[in-house]
Structure 1
Amino acid sequence: MGVRMLRRAALTGLAFLSVGLIAAATSAAADEGFGQGSNPGAPTQVRLVYEVDPNPPRTLGTGTAVDWSKPGLTLELLRLVGKRLDVDFVFQRVPWKRGLFMVQHGFADGLFHTSYVAEREPLLTYPRRPDGSIDDSRQIFSQSYVLYVKKGSPLRWDGKAFEALDGPVGAVASYAVADDLRRLGVQVEEERSTIINLRKLIEGRIAADAELQTMADPEIRRHPEIAVQIEKLEPPLRTKPYFLTFSHQFQDAAPALAERIWDAIASVNASPEFKAIVETYE
């Protein structure tokens, strides 16, 4: 067999392998209970994925399990939304990049917490106003990215520009802050978790670490050997609204339902019932 025929055979084999992997992923998703229920009288089922790392008080616990005795405020919020709309939200915790992949390829219907990044538009759909702009009135909540440095570092951030930045800045892979920093001309090193970035910071391998404050602060408290060596700069790098976003497949199949869910998020957020739940997490 000639080289060209061998190459063609190899490419064909890779194509079949890709199809097999996608089929396996679809089957696995179905095994997790995702998809529309077969009972016409049952609530509509919507498959949502979210991060395995905790983001207190919005999501609690680490790993794939969900502790429904105290799951976090976002799941409490969506549980109320589901009751109001007769929607059965099915939750699965996965690493962030895998969640993006699952929504992009239709293995999940939605993903949270997602900030708006233009580069994500081919992957996700956001709540919008009639003029097409992002509707932040239908956000889940807002949170801030902040910059951590080693104590004694000359690096400063005034809200617009860096002073005495000498080296790369760490960020969690695929988090929006990485692209924000690159637009400022900053060299970014991405890692799979906050704790890896913090260890790189105290080892002097990065000049600073850009993290979601609600996720990094608890991690720092769990590691006092890190806490005594770093400090947080003010003001925050960026404060953004965070959303429940849907796949294009879901948006195309059920646009009215997507809008109803986003509307209900805004309504439940402002409700006395949810505000009472918020107080139990304080």
Structure 2
Amino acid sequence: MIRLFAVSILLGLTALPVHAFRLCVPEQDFYPLMVLQGRDGTAVRLTNMVFDQLDMSLEVVHRPITRCLQELQHNLVDGFLASPFTPERSQMGVFPLKDQDGLPDERLATLEWTYALYRRKGDTVGWENRRFTGLNGPLGISSGAAITLTMRQQGVEVDDGASTVILNLEKLAAGRVQASLLPRSVADYLLLHTPKLQATIEQAHPEVATGKLYLLLAKDWFQRNPILAQQLWAAFPKVRRSKAYQRSEADFLRRYP
């Protein structure tokens, strides 16, 4: 057994780490990916399925984003879930890269989402040439959404007082915002299963913005486990597209709208 283990190391085959992978998850509400109040959200559900598939032990710790990144930089955690690619953060840890150009391999994104525009039926607010048309009132966006800053920089009046997609849809239906910019997969699912909202709300544009987040690995962990790191990055999009995960996501949205 010892000889076989030594040979596997010499040949560069994957050897599972002895200790559990310590993953830092932001201590914030970003429904449905990350949810406080005792629920981990769809992102952690996805991560658990990935680690189960790879037969890896996982320890999840919740920290404020800045502390997560500090601990990652000092190798106190093994990974951070999940980060947009920025040159600054690429100095803190390791992203899955395409080649030597230093850009991320978007095929290995851990999480993806598309923001769609929603309006009340009969309203004419829309999205053309990367600009809103007919938007004269507040735009509803869920609390903590990264796109909020982008919209405000464009001069859009943003109302981010609602923490979940369903609350934003209810606010839109009640006329408290003129339109809402929401994760398309979640909003479409909720409209499909909420006839009262479906009767008054429609999708105005299917894709206003898209985003990708990556599993950011600690440099020490990556150096010790380069092959396993590639397997880990590759597993996320594969599991995310699986029917098993899609059922789990639908179950979460049904239980915690």
Relative to the length of structure 1, the TM-score reads 0.60
- Secondary structure, aligned partner of 1:185: coil
Query: Percent identity between the aligned chains?
Result: 20
> For the aligned residues, what is the CA RMSD?
3.9
Residue 161 in structure 1 maps to residue 128 in structure 2: no
Q: Unaligned regions of 5+ residues in structure 2, if any?
A: 1-16, 248-257
Q: Which residue identity does 1:79 align to in structure 2? A: D
> Paired residues, what number?
221
* Equivalences for residues 1-282 of structure 1 within 5 A: 42-49=18-25, 55=32, 64-65=38-39, 72-81=45-54, 83=55, 87-91=56-60, 99-106=64-71, 110-116=79-85, 126-129=95-98, 130-158=100-128, 160-191=130-161, 192-221=163-192, 223-246=194-217, 250-251=218-219, 253-256=220-223, 260=227, 262-268=229-235, 274=239, 278-280=242-244, 281=246
- Secondary structure, aligned partner of 2:141: strand
Q: Which residue identity does 2:53 align to in structure 1? A: L
Q: Unaligned regions of 5+ residues in structure 1, if any?
A: 1-40
Deviations 1:144-177 (A, max 9, x none): 1111111111101135121111122121233222
Deviations 1:17-65 (A, max 9, x none): xxxxxxxxxxxxxxxxxxxxxxxx833431242676764xxx7999535
Deviations 1:203-245 (A, max 9, x none): 2222211111223333445543323221112231122323223
| 8 Å Cα contact 2:97-2:105 kept in structure 1 | yes
- In structure 1, what is the Cα distance between the partners aligned to 2:120 and 2:89? 32
- Secondary structure, aligned partner of 2:189: helix
- Secondary structure, aligned partner of 1:254: helix
Taking CA–CA contacts closer than 8 Å with sequence separation of 6 or more, which of the two structures ends up with the larger relative contact order? 2
- Secondary structure, aligned partner of 1:172: coil
- In structure 1, what is the Cα distance between the partners aligned to 2:210 and 2:146? 11
Cα drift, residue 112 of structure 1? 3.2
